[in-house]
Chain A
Amino acid sequence: MSLELSCRKVGDVAVVDLTGRITLGEEASKFREAIRVLVAQGERKLLLNLAQVSYLDSSGLGELVSAYTTLRSQGGELKLLHLGRRIRDILQITKLCTVFEVYEDEAEAVRSFYTR
């Protein structure tokens, strides 16, 4: 299943809804390009909604990390929303759960970008 992305704004936060798999090849490239465009457009608060992402391999994980470090280097933030069980397990195995802020509620996630 290929990856589909769509972006909507909630205040200053760009919420990216993803559907499909983020894996080595076309899907990872598509994800990388979408993040590149959003950052080029000036977006600095990104919330990735992974509710419909069924699968992440090591390349997909690498792309998430790369997006995170890209945003951070630009003074921005990237956070995750609605992780499925398997995605959550992968983040635990790789300890990336200690890197990403993860939310189960979109409104709470959006508010978090405005509080320190």
Chain B
Amino acid sequence: MTGSSQPSREMTARDQTDAAESVFELESTLESVDLAEQIAVRAAAEAGLDDDQQYEIGMAVRESVINAVVHGNRYNRNKKVRLTVRMRPGELVVRVADEGEGFDPSQVPDPLASENLLSQSGRGLLLIRAFTDEFTVRRLVPQGTEVVLVKRVREPSPPRSEEAEREG
């Protein structure tokens, strides 16, 4: 990890809804992409998500930060990517905000359309949607885009029946 990719962690707090939130300010570099993925996977593990879910939210965060660094901030070293990780009972909420000019997800070509299947790029949003339970995009004022990713803890195995409880 290079010095420039070291994020500044602004706070770790626990609010009245029993949610722990951490905010990281990342440079607009490729190193930040790996770092954000690692942060998300670690938080997902702490939140109780299983291995597959940790991988999935890690991938979704990775792709979101790629979009923020490459398309949003365009590697501009004066612009930052803000990563907010919020753990609530049963779910992990990750927000990725850039300082770019914004984008309209509905204008992104459908990577599943036959004419786009052999495109070299354009699959990031598809992977983010596939690997999250909720995905929203909003414009920031005065500028920038924030995506919100929600990953919920998978339901545990069905509870034991009353009979099994008695036997147990």
Residues of chain A having any CB pair with chain B under 8 Å:
23-25, 57-59, 61-63, 65-66, 68-69, 86, 90, 93-96, 98-99
Contact = CB atoms under 8 A, between A and B. Distances in A.
Nearest to A89: B130
Interface residues of B, number: 21
Query: Which 3 residue pairs across A and B have the least CB separation, nearest first?
Result: A62-B120, A58-B123, A58-B124
Contact of A57 (B66, B111, B119): B66
B146 interface: no
Interface of B: 30, 33-34, 55, 59, 62-63, 66, 111-112, 117-124, 126-127, 130
A110 to B, nearest CB: 25
B30 to A, nearest CB: 4
Contact of B30 (A24, A86, A99): A24
Given A69-B118, A98-B117, A24 B66 contact: yes
A69 B120 CA distance: 10
A93 B118 contact: no
A99 B117 contact: yes
A95 B117 contact: yes
22 contacts: A25-B30, A57-B62, A58-B121, A58-B122, A58-B127, A59-B66, A59-B121, A62-B119, A62-B120, A62-B121, A63-B120, A65-B118, A68-B118, A90-B127, A93-B126, A93-B130, A94-B111, A94-B112, A94-B123, A94-B126, A96-B117, A99-B118
